[in-house]
Amino acid sequence: MASITITINGQKVPAQTGQTVLEAARAAGIDIPTLCHHPAVKPIGACRLCMVEIAGQRTLQPACTFPVADKMDVKTESPKVVEVRKFVMELIFSERNHFCMYCEMSGDCELQALAYKYGIDHMTYPTYVKGYPVDASPPYFLLDHNRCVLCRRCVRVCGELVANHTLDMRQRGASTMVQADMNLPLGQSSCISCGNCLDVCPTGALVDKRSAFMARNAQTEHVRSVCSQCSLGCGIDVVTRAGNLLRVQGDSDAPVNRGLLCRKGRFEPLYEKRARLLAPLVRTLDGGHRQADWNEALQTAADRIRRTPAAKVGVLASTWATNEALYLLARLFVKELKAGKAGLLHPVVPVLSDKLPASLEEIAKSDCVLVVGADPAQDHPVVSFFVKRVLDAEGRLIVVGAPASPLADLADESFGTEEIRKAVETARAASRPAVLYGAGLSERVLEELKSLAGKALLLPLQPGVNTFAAAKFGLDRIAEPSGLEVLYVLAGEEDLGDRILGKIGKDTFLIVQGCYGSSLTDRADVVLPMAAWAERSGTLTNTAGLVQEVRAATDPAGSSKPDWEILSLLAERLGVKPGASLEEIAVHASRQLQ
């Protein structure tokens, strides 16, 4: 691209060939109003609000699609331009039900903001209220066609970014509406409930059911954090009011996902039905539990650990925990106490190359994706969005040893793991291959994948959440909980009862640190309640080794404490001084992660 100069409203503005007038103007800090434009998707010039006056052009032109040219002279707020903009907005307001006082998005609506900007305070034309349908069939959100301005942002995000292609437009003129598949209700369509359409809707047409009418935007607080549902580490924006969770939105500035989220990250944590652990519990003589204070619960656990031979003490870690908690767990039980068993309940995916793992944007630009022993659609859904983009660009998808899934159904070729060499050679023939691989692969399969490392992009898909960090801290083995006198389980939000209870003896002293009641906490001798996903601070390391900050959006429920603080207090009672604050512990943890 070559550097050129254009003039906007009498101001000299630098630009690059290939840019649109809108891009050049915004780069220079000059505002041009839009409704249909969104920086993450391709411009289509549908709303006509970005019309500008360009010298030499007989008519006004849409700034979002018109390319810049050297010495171009543009006027964005001339009387003619402003008149047309107001006319377009008046038509939009007259077409459907845009009565702001009754709308969930009042105060956070792009159409409303533009009306204020251009002084539209009444309906110029008769309002055409047809009574369009409201589709409330999806489990988490609804589509109100009465509020829709036909900007097609949702259609483009669903197709271009998520690559699901559920949404499109039907009918013409005043009857035009967004449709799912062949005019099915959204709840019966191919919609995967990722909710990314909600983040880009400029009005109140797409609304989160759970948080609707619970707060105006000015009454809310936004906390940028990291999703705790898989090892990808997507950036999230947690929205609260007065300490209460309202909804989760995508963080468009997040380096991993650029704002895209899946159903697991956006909705499911907010619909948690399990009972929270609100106070420490200790077992009574009759086999039940009674509530205890933190000092008693921690001292009971510490006393039992101290008087048990180290070889008979074990620790099992859920990778849901933060870097700081996993560091403390490893330091306390592995380094200081020399516990007989310490590790995870699932395998760790090995790193096959010294190259940095591929980003999702890099994977989307490949021309062939080889998926081995993994199911991104189920376990890392946002990854599957980028894989499907490769297919949209006429690339190829090869799966090896993958279970039946919506993504595997799209594969050009499928192989068993015994045919790994054939699959690798097929991928090697591509110009820009990418390899996504999961846990539990044989040495033979891993060696074949290593042979592609020089040419292909590689991205290990770790199971769990913070598995990369757990491995760095030495918790990289699968630990069997049998044969122990004391077992400490850092469960987090995971329900690990089915995987542990059948393997421990009836006399094993069980200490569980977790967020929710379960069969495991029912069996536990000491229960230590910990802060849940929106209540904790610290850091997480994603599957590519990127360390990101987790920020608390609400206070811990009841008397629960952050995972790192519980372990720090326990360590002190066992004579270990791990650090006085989260910041100090984070420094120690980060050194081991480098």
Q: Where among 237, 271, 305 does a domain terminate?
A: 271
Residues 313 and 292 in one domain: yes
CA 121, 126, 128, 131 dihedral sign is: positive
Give the span between the Cα atoms of 189 and 182, in whole angstroms: 9
Contact by Cβ (8 Å): 427, 398: yes
Residues 312 and 446 in one domain: no
Residues 311 and 448 in one domain: no
3-state secondary structure at position 259: coil
Write out pLDDT tens, residues 5-52. Answer: 999 999 999 999 999 999 999 999 999 999 999 999 999 999 999 999
The model's pTM: 0.94
Write out pLDDT tens, residues 274-301. Answer: 999 999 999 999 989 999 999 999 999 9
Count how many domains the chain has. 4
Give the span between the Cα atoms of 279 and 336, in whole angstroms: 28
Beta bridge partners of residue 341, listed in sequence order = 314
In this model, does residue 325 exceed pLDDT 90?
A: yes
Biggest distance spanned by C-alpha atoms of the chain: 90
Residues 528 and 558 in one domain: yes
Write out pLDDT tens, residues 394-436. Answer: 999 999 997 788 888 999 999 999 999 999 999 999 999 999 9
Instruction: Enumerate the H helices of 96-240 as residue ranges.
Output: 110-117, 153-156, 196-200
| CATH number assigned to the domain comprising residue 137 | 3.30.70.20
Residues 265 and 293 in one domain: no
Question: Can you give the pLDDT at residue 490?
Answer: 97
Looking at residue 93, the DSSP 8-state letter turns out to be H
50 belongs to a structural domain:
yes
Residues 255 and 397 in one domain: no
Residues 327 and 415 in one domain: no
Write out pLDDT tens, residues 524-563. Answer: 999 999 999 999 999 999 999 999 999 999 999 999 999 9
Write out pLDDT tens, residues 443-497. Answer: 999 999 999 999 999 999 999 999 999 999 999 888 889 999 999 999 999 999 9
Write out pLDDT tens, residues 130-146. Answer: 789 999 999 999 999 99
117 belongs to a structural domain:
no
Q: For residue 540, give the nearest of 332, 230, 245 by alpha carbon.
A: 230
Question: Can you give the pLDDT at residue 163?
Answer: 98
438 belongs to a structural domain:
yes
Q: Where among 461, 489, 523 does a domain terminate?
A: 461
The beta-strand segments (E) located in 133-243 are: 134-135, 141-144, 167-170, 177-180, 206-208, 221-226, 235-241
| CATH number assigned to the domain comprising residue 555 | 3.40.50.740
Give the span between the Cα atoms of 233 and 518, in whole angstroms: 26
20 belongs to a structural domain:
yes
* Lookup result for tokens 């989760």: 248
Per-residue pLDDT band for 126 (boundaries 50, 70, 90) equals confident
Structural domain boundaries enclosing 194: 128-271
3-state secondary structure at position 200: helix
| CATH number assigned to the domain comprising residue 43 | 3.10.20.740
Residues 335 and 482 in one domain: yes
Write out pLDDT tens, residues 377-386. Answer: 999 999 999 9
Q: For residue 457, give the nearest of 383, 406, 382 by alpha carbon.
A: 383
Q: Where among 52, 77, 102 does a domain terminate?
A: 77
The proportion of the chain whose per-residue pLDDT surpasses 90, expressed as a percent, equals: 90
122 belongs to a structural domain:
no
106 belongs to a structural domain:
no
Residues 133 and 261 in one domain: yes
Average pLDDT, the chain: 95
C-beta neighbour count of 508 within 10 angstroms: 20
Residues 242 and 372 in one domain: no
Residues 472 and 456 in one domain: no
521 belongs to a structural domain:
yes
Residues 420 and 473 in one domain: no
84 belongs to a structural domain:
no
Q: For residue 570, give the nearest of 530, 535, 522, 516 by alpha carbon.
A: 530
